[in-house]
Amino acid sequence: MTYNSEEMQQILEVAFRRKQQGEYTREQIIEIASELGVSSESLQAAEQEWLKKQVEVKKDQMSNNQKHKEFLAHLFTFIAVNGFLILLNLFTSPGYFWAIFPLLGWGLGLFLHWMKAYM
């Protein structure tokens, strides 16, 4: 029986979906590539490219995690310091709410930090 390229692709997609729970060994990948007519050099180059992308993805994830941690530290510091300033303001001069100025200024910086970390 013969198959055209579209039928072959559909069959392989079904096979890959069935195999999703399991894992492929490198030898199995080489065998599949060989059956598809992919040279070992092309397969090796593709594997190297894939590995480089995996390293980049992990670096990006680590960088994003670090940015999120730094933002959370900034947020907690903001809450603590501005909470103290608001209490200080209420006890020393309740008629004039001067704590709004550092709250708004720092709040803008915190907002920009949030955008940098999460956008």
Decide: pTM greater than 0.85.
no
Whether 75 is in a domain gets the answer yes
Parent domain of 110:
56-119
| Helix (H), strand (E), coil (C) string for 34-102 | HHCCCCHHHHHHHHHHHHHHHHHHHHHHHHHHHHHHHHHHHHHHHHHHHHHHHHHHHHHCCCCCCCHHH
pLDDT at residue 110 in the model: 97
pLDDT at residue 41 in the model: 83
Whether 17 is in a domain gets the answer no
Whether 46 is in a domain gets the answer no
pLDDT tens, N- to C-terminus, the chain (119 residues): 677 878 777 777 777 766 666 677 777 777 887 888 888 888 788 888 888 888 898 988 888 999 999 999 999 999 999 999 999 999 999 999 999 999 999 999 999 999 999 98
pLDDT at residue 67 in the model: 94
pLDDT at residue 46 in the model: 82
Whether 5 is in a domain gets the answer no
Whether 8 is in a domain gets the answer no
Whether 11 is in a domain gets the answer no
Whether 107 is in a domain gets the answer yes
Total domains, the chain: 1
Whether 119 is in a domain gets the answer yes
